Amino acid sequence: MEKSMEYRLRDKARLLALCLLDAQRLRPRACRTGIRQQGFSLIEMLLVLGIIAFIATMLATNIFGNQQRANVRAAQAAVRKVATNVDQFYLDTGSLPSKIEDLVTRPANAANWSGPYMNESQLKDPWGTPFVIKVPGEGGHPYSVISLGSDKAPGGKDNAADIDNNQ
């Protein structure tokens, strides 16, 4: 191990002497290539950090985009489930629930109520907003079960659009 270190020092000394002795005709290539650079330059480090930041940004947007689509699909499935429970409520009582909570607790005017048809935790969409029941529903339907979407307000576009069981 000491010999290899000795050889390296001897080679560096030889190159340095060559550069100093031949001052008239410097050999820049020999001088530059013989002395090795230790570590990374600031530009190299910034370039690598930029590449890592770019990749992280691409991954994050991909992951969050998938999360939004998954929430929309989960809301669509939940709206269908609530609509199925509203149908069951209607078959048992002969009337439609006036509010979403009627699927969990017995309303005063409901005869033959066989509930609860849902748990309290199932009354909210993936964004934590309670489902809305409209009686009568839109488009001539007897009722509509609606999730207000990610914006938690009526209307909206794309991932924030309302989700209706009659769509």
Q: How far apart are CA 99 and CA 108, in angstroms?
A: 13
Q: Average of pLDDT values for 153-158?
A: 76
Q: How far apart are CA 155 and CA 147, in angstroms?
A: 10
Distance CA 142, CA 91 (A): 13
> 59: how many CB neighbours lie within 10 A of its CB?
10
pLDDT in tens, 19-28: 665 654 554 5
Interval 74-85: pLDDT, tens:
888 888 898 888
Q: Name the residue among 140, 114, 119 with its Cα closest to residue 131.
A: 119
Answer with the residue of higher pLDDT: 17 or 127: 127
State how far the alpha carbon of 53 is from the alpha carbons of 40, 60, 62, 68, in Å.
19, 10, 14, 23
Half-sphere exposure of 53 (CA within 13 A, CB side): 6
Mean pLDDT rounded to a whole number for the chain:
78
